[in-house]
Structures are given as structure tokens and as C-alpha cells.
Amino acid sequence: MDSSPKQRTTRQRTAILAALGHESDFRSAQQLHEQMRASGESVGLATVYRNLQSLAESGQVDVLVTDEGESIYRQCEDDTHHHHLVCRVCGRTVEFQAPEMEEWTRRIASQHGFADVHHTMEIFGLCPDHADQAS
Amino acid sequence: MDSSPKQRTTRQRTAILAALGHESDFRSAQQLHEQMRASGESVGLATVYRNLQSLAESGQVDVLVTDEGESIYRQCEDDTHHHHLVCRVCGRTVEFQAPEMEEWTRRIASQHGFADVHHTMEIFGLCPDHADQAS
DNA sequence: ATTGCTGCAAAACATTTGCACGTAC
DNA sequence: GTACGTGCAAATGTTTTGCAGCAAT
């Protein structure tokens, strides 16, 4: 029941958060790791995984699972419940909230007697800059 | 541009479709494979994967990706666009449609200039029979 | 007869873990 | 000083693939 496990401020953890930065796109652990190495950071891949995992648990980053089953991460601007609109080509992401939808979800669930529900909902599409790109 | 690739009617393919049956729950390729072996069917795991994949492509079965990145499959009753309400404990599934939500999705997307969008949305919860089960 | 399917085992992947060592506290 | 974090390599688990033989058309 301890909701604040002590997390140490290590060089690697800091670097990972910095690398996530405020880019508005989702990246996989592997991409992030590569990106960090490219910019001279020395970090182990396992460490990137471990940190992303703990950061996700503590709600500091957002996780999405792609259709291929790969987990992708992003530092979120908003710490409340929200969804994403992601560009299939460049990864550009827009966060949005959908109170009506939350409401809707709860209604559907209780209609069928389901309790303690949570939902996933993400939108993928082509952003203005890539609107003409083939699917 | 050929949207009807010739699929042969093999014993295995038929068996897989039969095994998927009309159960109202999602199963992974591995589970399905095990289930088939248990009931005496002789099928290779790779074949199960290959068939599920092609069946999913041709829209004959539904695919969902779990939080752990595992793909789970189900034969759908409804061949139009729909979503699922899945029990976290027993896998029991209810299909539902959400026209208002489709509408909503399109609106959000075009508001941000996104085109050619598709979305994912699934609800997970506890069905009436498992409402008291801990998360 | 063709050409696609199957089975098996090996390969490819992303992710996790064991363990000795380093380091934040 | 102690407990947690890190790095590496090995292990895990799922899905894919190469290839020789089998079967549907």
C-alpha cells in the first residue's frame, strides 16, 4: 500500500527523462536507447527498459502498445486521464480529453453489469503535413 | 489491388475456424493451438499463426493486442465495425457499436486536421460473475 | 502438374532477469 | 555503510521464416 516507492535520482534516469524531453511523439525503448547513444549518452538498454517501466508506473510517462505489440513511451503534458491522436507517418501526437466518452464507456459497461472498468482508445491517422500520404 | 487472394480450404484452416467456433472469448494463438491439440487435432503452431493472420486480414476474425503485447483472436458475430467489452477475469466478451463515438472520433480528428483516421477502443472490466474479484 | 500449405526447427524480436559491481542516500 | 541502480549477457516468450515434403486446385 506504499504508493511512493523511493526512486533514486541517477544519471541514467535523469538522462532518460531528458531524452524523452518534450518531444510530441511516442518512441519505443529501443529507439530511445539508440537516440541516447547517438547523442553520446552511455546507458544500458536494460536500464532504459527498467526506467521507462517505473516511470510509467508512477504516471510520469504515457505508454501505448502498438498493433505490433511494441510498447511506446512519451512524456505527457497532462497528468489526468486523456487520449491520443497520433500521426501514422511522423508520430506527431495531440492529446485530448473526452469526458463524454468516459461517461459513455461507464454507461455501456454498467448496462452489461460490468464493474471496475477501464478502457483504451487511441486514434491513428494522417496529420495535416502527411494528409496525402498513402495508408 | 487484388483484394481476394486465393485461400485454400485445408484441413487445418477448417479446424482452426472450427476451434475458434462461436466461443465468446478471445484467445491467443498459443492457447488456441493447445486447445486444438488437447482435442486431438494435429496442427503446427506456425500454421495456427499463419492462418489467424490471414483470417484477420480478410476480416473473418477479430484481433486485439493485450497490454502485454500478445495478440488475441476471436471469431466475430458482427462483420461491421464494432468494439468490445471484455471481462478481465474470464474473458467473456460483449460486442457493441458506438455510432456516437465514431462520429466523435471523426470530429476530433478533423478538428486537428488529421485525415484517414482509424481508432481503437476496447473496454476491460469485471463481468457480473466476477464483479467482486480484486483487480 | 502447379502452386500454395504445412510442419518442424531455427531465427528474429522485444523484453526481462541474474549477478557482480557501482553509487545515491 | 547499505540498499538500490546499473550493465552485461543470458534467458524468456511470442511471433516469423526457411525449407523440404504434402495437398488442394
CB contact under 8 A, A108 and B98: yes
Domain ranges, residue A91: 78-135
CA distances from B107 to A105, B67, B133 (A): 18, 27, 37
Please indicate, yes or no, whether residues B89 and B129 belong to a single structural domain of this protein: yes
Please indicate, yes or no, whether residues B9 and B56 belong to a single structural domain of this protein: yes
Q: Which of residues 43-72 of A touch strand D (CB under 7 A)?
A: 43-47, 50-51, 69
Distance from CA of A40 to the nearest CA of B (A): 31
Task: Judge whether residue A125 has pLDDT over 80.
Answer: yes
CB contact under 8 A, B109 and A123: yes
Please indicate, yes or no, whether residues A27 and A85 belong to a single structural domain of this protein: no
Please indicate, yes or no, whether residues B71 and B90 belong to a single structural domain of this protein: no
Lookup result for grid cell 497490454? B67
Please indicate, yes or no, whether residues A110 and A135 belong to a single structural domain of this protein: yes
CA A92 to C1' C24 (Å) is: 36
CB contact under 8 A, A117 and B124: yes
- For B13, what's the count of Cα atoms within 13 Å in the CB-facing half-sphere? 12
**Among all strands, which nt has the closest C1' to B50 (CA)?**
D16
d(CA A13, CA A38) in angstroms, rounded, equals 17
Q: Work out whether strand A93-96 and strand A83-87 pair parallel, antiparallel, or are unpaired.
A: antiparallel
* DSSP assigned state of A131: T
Task: Using DSSP, state whether A54 is helix, strand or coil.
Answer: helix
Average pLDDT value for residue range A43-53: 96
Please indicate, yes or no, whether residues B67 and B96 belong to a single structural domain of this protein: no
Range with the poorest average pLDDT among A71-75, B50-54, B59-63: B59-63
pLDDT bin (cut points 50, 70, 90) of residue B3 is: very low
- Cell numbers at residue B104, please? 466523435
What HEC string does B17-79 produce? HHHHCCCCECEEHHHHHHHHHHCCCCCCHHHHHHHHHHHHHCCCEEEEECCCCCEEEEECCCC
Please indicate, yes or no, whether residues B65 and B90 belong to a single structural domain of this protein: no
Number of CB atoms found within 10 A of residue A32's CB: 21
Question: What is the phi/psi pair of residue A83, to 5°?
Answer: -125, 175
Average pLDDT value for residue range A19-40: 88
Please indicate, yes or no, whether residues B124 and B94 belong to a single structural domain of this protein: yes
d(CA A56, CA A50) in angstroms, rounded, equals 10
Query: Domain holding B66: CATH number?
Result: 1.10.10.10
Please indicate, yes or no, whether residues B39 and B68 belong to a single structural domain of this protein: yes
Determine the residue type at B2.
D
Task: Judge whether residue B2 has pLDDT over 60.
Answer: no
Q: Give the end of a domain, one of B76, B99, B120.
A: B76
Query: Domain holding A130: CATH number?
Result: 3.30.1490.190
Phi-psi region of B14 (alpha: psi -120 to 50; beta: other; left: phi over 0): alpha
More confident residue, B90 or A82: A82
Please indicate, yes or no, whether residues A64 and A96 belong to a single structural domain of this protein: no
Range with the poorest average pLDDT among A74-88, B15-29, B57-71: A74-88
pLDDT bin (cut points 50, 70, 90) of residue A3 is: very low
What total number of domains does chain B contain? 2
Please indicate, yes or no, whether residues B7 and B43 belong to a single structural domain of this protein: yes
| Percent of chain A at pLDDT exceeding 90 | 31
Q: Give the end of a domain, one of B39, B61, B76.
A: B76
More confident residue, A26 or A134: A26
Average pLDDT value for residue range A90-104: 83
Q: What is the mean pLDDT of chain A?
A: 85
Average pLDDT value for residue range B73-84: 80
